[in-house]
């Protein structure tokens, strides 16, 4: 069980990043964003497109070769593109919907439409073959009690740093405080002179960038696939709901827990030979939490029935 803990930590940090992003977006805009998984995949696919050498066997869009930039620059570019994409979604789709008073179920169904569209656009853009990044293979080493490659260990450190920066941003900067104000009450925030349209735009950008970073991490420990976003989306939902949808700290803890549960459950005695079903354990945990504590572990009590 201990040897799975490192993998659990790794998956946990990825899901935590994506969950925090989803939860922030839900808190500020009340959108249950099913297209969140596709933004995760966008980050991973863009990084793969920028970083692989021109001569590699990956082909995009029938005959487009990858660009072949250095990996670090590719990551920055990919995260930037994710932020841009989030901004475009808000400006072109969700702001007009909000101005026209679309109900939240209608918006939810629209995010599903966007998700299906984008996922199959990725299938055409990046083909159905699993892809990777131009990184050398590394040997696993012992860190404390965790069994990880040096790169995985670095990912965990980077993930923690990203989460800390995010936490500081949301707690102490002006924009972060305004985001929390809009989350708590859109109308009161407006009265206090906060331009909630701008804040929602910043939220979309921030949420998409975090999601994109999570996608790149996921691409580094696994591979890059057109449907990777949808595969991880339900776990991200589970993490968000577990910690309390709309909260930041709760979503982070929930995401960590879900990641660890998924990986560690492989080592449970009754799961021997059933590793395919590991996601089912995490999803069942989410449903159980909804049964006993519907607002999630850290959520504030509100009417959800």
Q: Footprint of other proteins on this chain (CB under 8 A)? A: 32, 62-63, 97, 102-106, 108-110, 112-121, 123-124, 127-128, 230, 234, 237-238, 241, 274, 276-277, 279-280, 283-284, 286-287, 290-291, 294, 303-305
- Whole-number minimum distance, CB 207 to other proteins, in Å? 17
Report the residue number, 134 or 294, with the smaller CB distance to other proteins. 294
Contact present, 241 and 290 (Cβ < 8 Å): yes
* Nearer CB in complex with other proteins: 71/102: 102
Task: Report CA dihedral (241, 123, 209, 156) to the nearest 10 degrees.
Answer: 70
Partners of 131 in the β-ladder: 224
d(CA 285, CA 89): 32
Based on CB atoms, which residue is closest to other proteins, 55 or 305?
305
Shortest approach of other proteins to residue 5 CB, angstroms?
Answer: 23
- C-beta of 248: minimal distance to other proteins in Å? 19
| Neighbouring residues of 281: CB distance < 8 A, sequence distance ≥ 6 | 261, 262, 265, 271
Q: Where is 199: in which H helix or E strand? A: helix 196-221
Residue 56 or 279: which CB sits closer to other proteins?
279
Give the separation between CA 278 and CA 219, rounded to whole angstroms: 19
For other proteins, the closer CB: 159 or 254: 254
Could you tell me the smallest distance in angstroms from the CB atom of residue 128 to other proteins? Answer: 5
* Of 118, 126, 124, 134, residue with least CA distance to 229: 118
Of the candidates 276, 275, 241, the one whose C-alpha atom is nearest the C-alpha of residue 255 is: 241
């Amino acid at each position: 069980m201990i040897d799975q803990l490192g993998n659990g930590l790794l998956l946990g940090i990825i899901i935590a990043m994506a969950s925090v992003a989803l939860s922030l977006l839900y808190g500020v805009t009340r959108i249950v964003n099913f297209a969140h998984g596709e933004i995760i995949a966008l980050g991973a696919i863009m990084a793969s497109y920028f970083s692989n050498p021109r001569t590699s066997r990956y082909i995009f869009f029938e005959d487009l070769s990858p660009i072949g930039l250095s990996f670090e620059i590719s990551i920055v570019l990919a995260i930037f593109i994710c932020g841009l994409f989030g901004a475009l979604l808000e400006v072109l789709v969700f702001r007009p919907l909000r101005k026209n008073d679309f109900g939240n179920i209608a918006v939810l169904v629209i995010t599903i439409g966007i998700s299906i569209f984008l996922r199959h656009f990725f299938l055409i853009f990046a083909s159905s073959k699993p892809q990777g990044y131009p990184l050398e293979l590394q040997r696993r080493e012992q860190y404390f009690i965790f069994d990880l490659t040096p790169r995985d260990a670095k990912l965990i450190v980077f993930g923690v740093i990203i989460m800390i920066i995010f936490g500081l941003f949301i707690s102490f900067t002006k924009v972060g405080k305004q985001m929390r104000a809009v989350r708590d009450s859109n109308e009161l925030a407006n009265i206090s002179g906060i331009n909630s349209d701008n804040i929602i735009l910043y939220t979309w950008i921030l949420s998409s960038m975090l999601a994109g970073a999570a996608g790149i991490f996921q691409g580094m420990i696994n591979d890059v696939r057109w449907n990777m976003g949808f595969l991880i989306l339900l776990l991200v939902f589970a993490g968000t709901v577990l910690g309390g949808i709309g909260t930041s700290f709760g979503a982070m803890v929930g995401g960590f827990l879900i990641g660890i549960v998924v990986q560690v459950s492989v080592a449970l005695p009754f799961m021997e030979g059933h590793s395919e079903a590991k996601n089912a354990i995490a999803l069942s945990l989410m449903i159980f939490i909804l049964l006993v504590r519907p607002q999630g572990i850290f959520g504030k009590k509100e009417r959800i029935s």
